[in-house]
Structure 1
Amino acid sequence: MHRTSQRTGQSLEPDRQTVEAMGREIVSRIADYLDGLPQAPASRFGEAADAVARMLQPPPEEGGGFDRLLDAFQEAAAHGLDPSSPGYLAYFPAGGLVSSALADAFAQVHNRFTTVADLAPALVAMEHGVLRWLAGLFGLPEGAGGLVTTGGSLATLAAVVAARHDRLGEDLAGARLYVTEHTHFCVAKAARIAGLPASAVRVVPTRRLRMDPVAAARMIEEDRARGLRPFLLAGTAGTTSTGTVDPLPELGELAAREGLWFHVDAAYGGGLRLTARGRARLAGVERADSIVVDPHKSLFLSYGTGVLLVRDPVTLRAAHAGGGDYLQDLRTVGGLPDFGHDGPELTREFRGLRLWLPLHLHGVAAFRAALDEKLDLAWLAYRELAADPLFEVPWEPDLTVVVFRPRDGDEAGRRLLDRVNATGRIFLSSTTVEGRYFLRLNPTGHRTHEAELRAALELIRDGARALAG
């Protein structure tokens, strides 16, 4: 039973007693939510109409009670998907790591401006230190740096703009960049925002879901012969549909030989670089000019946490830096970046603590152990499903995504997905690969363990048996 009933609307600056009461109330509700997660549904659809109508109402003239407003949020959050649930096995789970969420709240109250190092040098150093550590994790050279963004899409945009500026200058005529059908569409979207036409994006054929380096080399050669200007090659370290890793060593060699910017989308797979298996799978990523990583995927943080790493930070600044007379009082702080010159955002919240505190609090070994467990879970799911005659499982997982389908075909797959997700106990997603419908299972959430996965597999098998009838 929650007891806080303070009406805080009369003052924008509550007194200490009220602040402490509000904090206790929120922390108590967080603890209740976490306690209930194992029994809570992973999804709840079809019942949101009343809640949606209430949430669309404008704010009142006079403020309301804090506890009632938190009640309203919790009721609204109960609809749709719960990516924090141990039964959430779709897409790429975002863990909502409690230590990171609390760190973010603490940072937001302090509200420091970290776009310019001069205004908060030690906090910028905190963020920059995590970026340097990540750059080292990926084998980038000393002096590499980057940017913490809202996610992979914004990080990709900054990378594409840097590559465009570095390799093409101001003349974009004939620009070409190379992806596959499995490359995340944020690359093509970034190219469009960066001023490139749809014809600039060339789709390279694949072999066993991976970019074919021979085909890529041939297309680059043909485009050059036509007077076009290849400038970027995009490899993927964990595709969205199947978690497949492109042949990064061969693509890195091709990009270097042809003078192309080598971009690696490791938004999903990047965190797994912490493990021995992940390092082996992502070999070749160290040749990248830019790497995108989403800690809200494989480092269990909350949505809104992406990272761009670059081999040479000068390329970011050359493409993004600007200025104005009103900035004349600011000084350069030696050794620290001004993040406003490294990407599209001139105003941004301080994002460093949401990364720094969990890594220092739990230690890197805790993340490594959790990620190793997720790799084990994926192989468990693969072995169990592949051994069941009801299912077709054509590809071994490179990382933690397992795709499968009933042997009865696409329509059976759709009915199985609907049946499983309708239980609310687990939630899967689907994809289409090589023209065929597949279900997709991804046990990457840090609250998903072997017991939860085995229960999910049993639910999937029960559904398939019932439909096979």
Structure 2
Amino acid sequence: MAEIHVRALALEPDQTSIEVMGRAVLERIADFIDGLSQAPAGRNDDTEQIVARMLRPPPEEAGDLTALLDTFQDAAERSLDTAGPGYLAYFPAGGLVGSALAELLAQTYNRFTAVAELAPALVAMEHGILRWLCGQFGLPSSAAGLVTTGGSMATLAGLVAARHDRLGEDIAGGTLYVTEHTHHCVAKAARIAGLPASSVRTVPARGLRMDPDAAARLIAVDRANGLRPFLLVGTAGTTSTGTIDPLAELGELARRENIWFHVDAAYGGGFRLTARGRDRLRGIERADSVVFDPHKSLFLPYGTGVLLVRDTGPLRAAHSGRGDYLQDLTGVAGLPDYGHLGPELTREFRGLRLWLPLHLHGAAAFRDALDEKLDLAALAYRELTADPLLEVPWEPDLTVVVFRLRADDDANRRLLDRINRTGRFFLSSTRVDERFYLRLNATSHRTHESHLRDALDHIRRCAGDEATTRPRT
């Protein structure tokens, strides 16, 4: 590619320059996507040297775009490729191209959407998608929400709303209820919201799921001791194992106890689009708030989270503010002011990254892809269970499959290293009941049966090699 020079200090390039730069970037994108099917899941060679290069300060004079794009590409290639079919760890974020293009448009137009009056049609686009999502979760017509940077920020906003609604200004003695499998962002949000670590109560789990009876007993004991239970957290797909809590029973318990019911569906929420997902996530419609990460199970880019609430009143009451500099804004009937529903006032127009791919591809395309991922998880479970060297203790609720060698933890650590060493596939690990497990999650929209079968063959070969070579005890 020929060098692309940008005139010094040309902060306002002309149309021709923009077109040249845009083509250069889009060519890189197209080449990257085209090569994903054969790309390694990651590489980290020459880390110290490339990090040192990336730490250099910007020059005084203008640079060359081609060289700068080369530098970015070099840096990006020395990281985990979460967009490719071989990434089977954590929660793959495939990064739909349509969503990336939407982000380019949104950032270029750079409209302010925290206040509806300044961009009513754009806010309506975002609001329409959120209302549609509320319907997918079975929430009432009064439900709405906001798009955040991810599940952690959405959890914080939901927890603050629950705290304000159920405890008021005096938060002393407030308690919330989780399990050992609840995502740590809940405890982090509680700490940020001013609650002590002792306020986070750990309910015993039964088969990896919150035990509703144990939760009821703990709530009763806390009330008897003068504490103030205000929040019960259920999980629709835990991070370690993808397990779904008994949401219907927990929702009924929260109703009886008059406490806020929050469901962390950051991972599992997208599966509500499927028939199997709706059945497995039954009870989520009882939630007062739901966190969902479209960058997990709707294949969107990282930094895309959603908070949905049954009633926006508590959300607004906990987050709204006033200032003399806002006196010219009167609001738009029927549209939310997102700056008064969450911690952020300055926020980019995030709705387009959801609106464009959903309208471009249609909801059925996402539903079909998610059904395929459930099928892949069932396939992985069957294949790994059939291997006598492996222990696969839990049938997946969604798409996370955990397994281990019938050996000690050290052997399983070595197995994970063998699997990941080639860079073709990448798995992660977790600990359950103090035991080390390997963790496989084929949720990327680019991972299909052929990719998974290749990965399973690789896992079995590595398991056989480890079983043959591990030290005798």
* TM-score, structure 2 normalization: 0.98
- Report matched runs for 1:16-415 at 5 Å: 16-415=15-414
Amino acid at match of 1:364: A
Aligned partner letter, 1:451: S
Question: What CA distance in whole angstroms lies between the structure 2 residues aligned with 1:47 and 1:212?
Answer: 48
Shift of 1:85: 1.2
The CA deviation at 1:22 is 0.7
- Write the letter of the residue equivalent to 2:373: K
Query: In the TM superposition, what are the counterparts of 1:418-429 in structure 2 within 5 Å?
Result: 418-429=417-428
Structure 2 residue matching 1:316: 3-state secondary structure: helix
Q: Helix, strand or coil: the match of 2:399?
A: coil
1:51 maps to amino acid: I
Identity percentage of aligned residues:
73
Distance 2:12 2:401 in 1: 50
Q: Residue 192 of structure 1: SS of its match in structure 2?
A: helix
| Aligned amino acid, residue 326 of structure 1 | Y
Q: 1:438 aligns to what?
A: 437
TM-score between both structures, scaled by the size of structure 1: 0.99
Cα deviation, 1:15-72, whole Å, max 9, x if unaligned, reads: 1001001111111110100111122110112422111111100000001011111110
Contact 1:6 1:18 in 2 (8 A): no
- CA-CA distance at 1:9 after TM superposition: 3.9
Query: Residue 8 of structure 1: CA displacement?
Result: 4.2
Measured after TM superposition, the shift of residue 409 of structure 1 is 2.4
Cα displacement (A) at 1:10: 2.7
Q: Which residue of 1 aligns with 2:10?
A: 11
**Cα distance per residue 1:401-456 (max 9 Å; x no partner):** 00000011211110010011011000000000011100000000000000000000
Residues 323-379 of structure 1: CA deviation (Å, up to 9, x unaligned)? 100111112100000000000001000001100000000000000000000000000
Return 5+ residue gaps in structure 1 as ranges: none
Instruction: Show structure 2 runs of 5+ residues with no match.
Output: 469-473
SS in 2 for 1:402: strand
Residue 437 of structure 1 aligns to a residue whose secondary structure is: strand
**Counterpart of 2:221 in structure 1: which amino acid?**
E
Bigger mean CA deviation after superposition, 9-18 or 359-368: 9-18
Aligned-partner Cα distance in 2 for 1:204–1:98: 41
SS of alignment partner, residue 38 of structure 2? coil
Shift of 1:238: 0.1
CA distance in structure 2 between the aligned counterparts of 1:60 and 1:32, rounded to whole angstroms: 29
Q: Counterpart of 2:82 in 1: which secondary structure?
A: coil
Aligned length: 468
| Shift in Å, 1:7 | 1.9
Q: Distance in 2 between matches of 1:5 and 1:96?
A: 27
Secondary structure of 1:93 counterpart: coil
AA of the residue aligned to 1:276 = A
Distance 1:453 1:438 in 2: 19
The DSSP-based 3-state class of the residue aligned with 2:194 is coil
> 3-state SS of the aligned residue for 1:38?
helix
2:456 is aligned with what amino acid?
L
Secondary structure, counterpart of 1:308 in structure 2: strand
In structure 2, relative to structure 1, the CA distance for the partners of 1:382 and 1:346 (3 Å cut) is same
Whole-angstrom distance in 2 between the partners of 1:288 and 1:3: 56
Structure-1 residue corresponding to 2:471 = none
Could you list the per-position Cα deviations for residues 274-315 of structure 1 after superposition, in whole angstroms to 9, with x for gaps in the alignment? 000000010000000000000000000000000000000011
Q: For the residues of structure 1 that align with 2:435 and 2:246, how far apart are their CA atoms?
A: 24
- Asked if the contact 1:4/1:21 (under 8 Å) is kept, the reply is no
- Counterpart of 1:323, as a letter, is R
- Counterpart of 1:397 in structure 2: which amino acid? P
Q: Which runs of 4+ in 1 moved over 4 A?
A: none
* Stretch moving more, 282-291 or 10-19: 10-19
2:344 & 2:460 partners in 1: Cα distance? 47
Task: State how far apart, in whole Å, the 2-side matches of 1:85 and 1:422 are.
Answer: 17
* Matched AA of 2:205: T
Quote the Cα distance in structure 2 between the aligned partners of 1:200 and 1:420. Answer: 41
Q: Distance in 1 between matches of 2:175 and 2:113?
A: 35
Residue 117 of structure 1, CA deviation:
0.2
Q: CA deviation at 1:4?
A: 4.7
Question: Cα offset for 1:80?
Answer: 2.0
Cα displacement string for residues 144-201 of structure 1 (whole angstroms, at most 9, x for unaligned residues): 0001000000000000000000000011111100000000000000000000000000
CA RMSD of aligned residues (A): 0.7
Distance of 2:205 and 2:140 partners within structure 1 = 30
Distance 1:280 1:200 in 2: 33
Q: Which moved more, 1:412-421 or 1:5-14?
A: 5-14
